[in-house]
Amino acid sequence: MIEGRLTRRAALGALAAMPFARVAGAQDLTKASIALLRLSSSGPVFIALEKGWFKEAGLDLAIKDFTAATQPPLAVVSGDADFGMTAFTAGFYNLAAKGGLKVIAAQSAEKAGYPLVAISVTKAAWESGVRSIKDLTGKRIAMTTAGSSMHYSIEVVARKHGIDTKTIVMVPLNSLPNMAAAFKGGTVDGAIWPVTTWRQVEADAGGHLLAWVGDEAPWQLGGVFTSPKTIAERRPLVEKFIVGYRRGAAAYNEAFGKRENGKIVPGPGYEELLGILAAAVKQTPALVAAGLPFIDPEGRLDVGDIYKQVQLWQSQGQVARDADPKTFVDLTFVKGHFNVPG
């Protein structure tokens, strides 16, 4: 009887201690935040959060979401967020070159077979003979802003085809709705779009696809970054983040990474993870599935391509001449990066 009472006491004691243990565990988590856009390219973070992988790594991560690629870098530089992820732009490289940012892992990339960004022309332009990238000479092409990832995409694709990009009239319209209105109204000859926007514009106004950027000129579209101060003073925080992020990237790639003829071949966890992304970006699963970019399963960067991007922007006067990727790309958190200059 005494043994039974002790056993019951021990059990009751354990039950009483359980809520405390959970609270203590929560208190042990390191709080951090990440600035991002609610796009499928942020998928590894959404997946890792939903699956609890950041918490397993010891991190209580909060999302701070924005609507323009210029905003996450500014949030990190100002200290409003610990981490950020977005497309690389000329503005990003200027902030990084001034010591405000360190790139620590890959986000999305343009890659053949992944229809992500479309270059298209209006019906009128098509009927007038604009049938290929080479025909864009002298044409008005809408984009969001100068120095953006869209601008860079036009530059690299045109150069591949031997076109002097100075002969293309780039028309910065600041937003996708403005671009759609100009395309429908015929005040531009063409535009460059995210795939989901292009599908909608194509349905509403017609037009013709000239090329997918990834098929023409693959490049490192985006990255994950933090501040030099965070790395110097809170390196364990960065290491915890990378553990969770890479688990998310691996699961994303396993579910969505295989393509045949430009179409997804669903992998393990496809339906579950697609549902997670659809909820996170507030779009239907079908729309999300139409625009899933390539994301390296280990977060590895094409470092050489970052050097090329900086050089292109420097040649146009968009990025300072003394900007040197060696000073703002940190290769120590992820192993096996690609094309690292000697």
Give the CA angle between residues 317, 321, 327 to the nearest 5°: 130
Long-range contacts of 173-180 (CB under 8 A, 24+ apart): 173/142, 173/143, 173/144, 174/144, 174/145, 175/144, 176/144, 178/142, 179/142, 179/143, 179/144, 180/204, 180/205
Instruction: Write the DSSP string, 153-190.
Output: HHHHHHHHTT--GGGSEEEE-SSHHHHHHHHHHTSSSE
Report which of 291, 261, 284 is spatially closest to residue 117, judged by C-alpha positions.
Answer: 291
Q: Tens digits of per-residue pLDDT, 284-336?
A: 999 999 999 999 999 999 999 999 999 999 999 999 999 999 999 999 999 99
Report which of 166, 91, 176, 92 is spatially closest to residue 142, judged by C-alpha positions.
Answer: 176
Residue ranges of the chain whose pLDDT lies below 70 = 1-27
**Both structure tokens of 105:** 């892992």
pLDDT at 325: 98
Instruction: Write the DSSP string, 9-31.
Output: HHHHHHHHHHHHHHHHHHHHSEE
Contact 139, 268 (CB under 8 A): no
Helix (H, G, I), strand (E, B) or coil at 109: strand
> What are the residue boundaries of the structural domains of the chain, listed by start?
25-110+219-327, 117-216
CATH T-level assignment (fold) for domain 117-216: D-Maltodextrin-Binding Protein; domain 2 (3.40.190)
Q: Cα–Cα distance between 83 and 142 in angstroms, integer?
A: 31
Helix (H, G, I), strand (E, B) or coil at 238: helix
pTM for the structure as a whole: 0.88
CATH T-level assignment (fold) for domain 25-110+219-327: D-Maltodextrin-Binding Protein; domain 2 (3.40.190)
pLDDT at 196: 84
pLDDT at 25: 54
Contact 259, 265 (CB under 8 A): yes
Contact 108, 39 (CB under 8 A): no
Beta bridge partners of 208: 121
pLDDT at 20: 35
